[in-house]
Amino acid sequence: MPARVIVVEDDERLRSYALGALAGAQDIAVVGDAGSLAAGLPLVDLQPDLALLDLGLPDGSGQTIIQAIRERVPGCRVLVFTVFEDRASVLGTLKAGADGYILKDTSVEQLLGHVRATLAGETPISARAASHLLSLVRDEPVAPEPADPAAPHLSPRERELLEYLARGLSRKEAARVMNLSPYTVAEYMQAIYRKLQVKSRGEAVFEAIQARLIRIDRE
């Protein structure tokens, strides 16, 4: 079955661009599109596998749709497609639960590749957006152990896995690097989500960096 995708973008030209990029893919079916927050929220009830979202909608922020997805369709992946590349937008969107963050200067081939990668469990993040994540660890060096005693405790292997995922590896790639089975990685991810009280990979990465549990500037 093709993956079910919704597209929410207020610029008609860019929405057509995105829809055209996805139209020829046999493994993807666009089940709905909208140009506003009001029209986009009902699309969440279509139970999509992925939402391709703009942040700057005329009647509100795309983050509202991300929050609705996390509450109503927790298994849905979210790929943000936006012109905003400032630190507040990047970090706020990842904290809200986005799984990827790409900018609108992406080519048709790249956009389709990013959608497929997000569906496969990867976290596409544009280079300019990723620089804001790196700035977190540069501005606040991470201690070997969490400085805050109240911070959630992640095991060394859970922290290692989350660091690999934060740096863009898929679960399958992380499993291979760590010499683990995909089932073990899935169990680790369930534990990470439970301990950090999050519902998405993007949220987990954001919260772990903020709590100084992981760092992503290692070689």
Which of 47-61, 175-189, 199-213 comes out lowest in average pLDDT? Answer: 199-213
The parent domain of residue 135 ranges over 3-139
* Mean pLDDT, rounded, for 179-207: 85
Number of domains making up the chain? 2
| Neighbouring C-beta atoms of residue 15, cutoff 10 Å | 19
CATH number at residue 116: 3.40.50.2300
Domain ends where: 83, 108, 139?
A: 139
Which of 208, 114, 185 lies closest to 216, judged by CA? 208
Q: Looking up tokens 């610029």, which residue turns up?
A: 11
Instruction: Tell me the three state secondary structure of residue 195.
Output: helix
In this structure, is residue 99 part of a structural domain? Answer: yes
- In this predicted structure, the answer to whether residue 190 has a pLDDT above a threshold of 50 is yes
Task: Please say whether the beta carbons of 115 and 174 come within 8 A.
Answer: no
Q: Between 51 and 91, name the one with better pLDDT.
A: 51
CA distances 116 to 20, 53, 128, Å, are 15, 15, 21
For residue 67, is pLDDT > 80?
Answer: yes
Grade residue 209 by pLDDT with cuts at 50, 70 and 90.
confident
Question: Are 99 and 59 members of one domain?
Answer: yes
Which candidate, 79, 53, 77, places its Cα nearest to that of 65?
53
Statement to judge: residues 131 and 205 lie in one domain: no
Give the residue with greater pLDDT, 73 vs 102: 73
Higher pLDDT, 31 or 143: 31
Cα 22–Cα 24–Cα 28 angle in degrees, nearest 5: 55
From the list 143, 134, 179, the residue with the least C-alpha distance to 161 is 179
Assign 108 a pLDDT band (cuts: 50, 70, 90).
Answer: confident
Whether residue 58 is contained in a domain is answered as yes
Q: How confident is the model at residue 29 (pLDDT cuts 50, 70, 90)?
A: very high
Percent of the chain at pLDDT > 90 equals 28
Q: Is residue 216 part of a domain?
A: no
pLDDT confidence bin for 72, thresholds 50/70/90: very high
Boundary-marking domain end, from 104, 139, 174: 139
Please give the structure tokens belonging to residue 155.
Answer: 């095991």
Token code pair at residue 47: 């139970």
**pLDDT for position 147:** 47
User: Residue 86 and residue 83: Cα distance in Å, rounded?
Assistant: 9
Same domain, 174 and 118: no
Which pLDDT does position 134 carry in this prediction? 58
Percent of the chain with pLDDT over 70: 84
Alpha-carbon distances of 135 from 20, 98, 141, 168, 189, rounded to whole Å: 35, 19, 10, 16, 25
Q: What is the pLDDT of residue 133?
A: 62
Mean pLDDT for 92-106 is 80
Per the domain annotation, does 15 fall within a domain? yes
- pLDDT digit string, tens, across residues 31-52: 999 999 999 999 999 999 999 9
pLDDT > 80? residue 59: yes
pLDDT at 85: 61
